[in-house]
Amino acid sequence: MRSHSLGPGEIARRTGVAVSTLHYYEREGLIASERTAGNQRRYHRDILRRVAFIRVSQSVGISLTRIRAALSTLPEDRSPTKTDWARLSRGWREELDERIAGLQRLREKLDGCIGCGCLSLKSCSLYNPDDRLADEGPGPRRMPPARAGRHPAESVE
């Protein structure tokens, strides 16, 4: 076992995640632990950085699958460096830029949506882009009665 190992409680306290989250990350192959003779989990100190990286990555919408793939490229014999982290984050820059652009487009469409007050589903750029539902006749087509007071974009199809 490597020196400077920490127990799950200490890792949880220092990273702000629950012990159960650490166990989940371990089951998902995002982090690894070693076991003591008494079968207790022990984590190397570099797990602190990995957990922080996982949390930040999740906060910007990166999937655990992509995070796992990225973490698998890191060296196992040393703590990741700033250069390692920068390389991983560069790989996600294009995806994040696309999401930002999509959110900006959504924001622009919301201005029109707020203006229509959902009185014209025919022209709703969020709910019925290009008036695809026009062939079904006038009136709401996807809005369940229980949600009639909510915006169509909030309805569940």
Domains of the chain, residue spans = 1-80, 103-157
Q: Which residues of 18-57 are buried (b: 16+ CB within 10 A; e: fewer)?
A: eeebbeebbeeebbebeeeeeeebbbbebbbbbbebbeeb
Contacts of 153 (CB under 8 A, 6+ apart): 113, 126, 127
Chain center to CA of 26: 18
Tokens 């700033």 appear where? 82
CATH architecture of the domain 1-80 equals Orthogonal Bundle (1.10)
pLDDT by residue, tens only, the chain of 157 residues = 455 789 999 999 999 999 999 999 999 999 999 998 999 999 998 899 889 989 988 998 889 999 999 888 888 777 778 898 888 888 888 888 998 998 888 887 776 555 555 555 555 666 656 666 667 766 655 555 554 444 444 444 3
Distance CA 90, CA 129 (A): 34
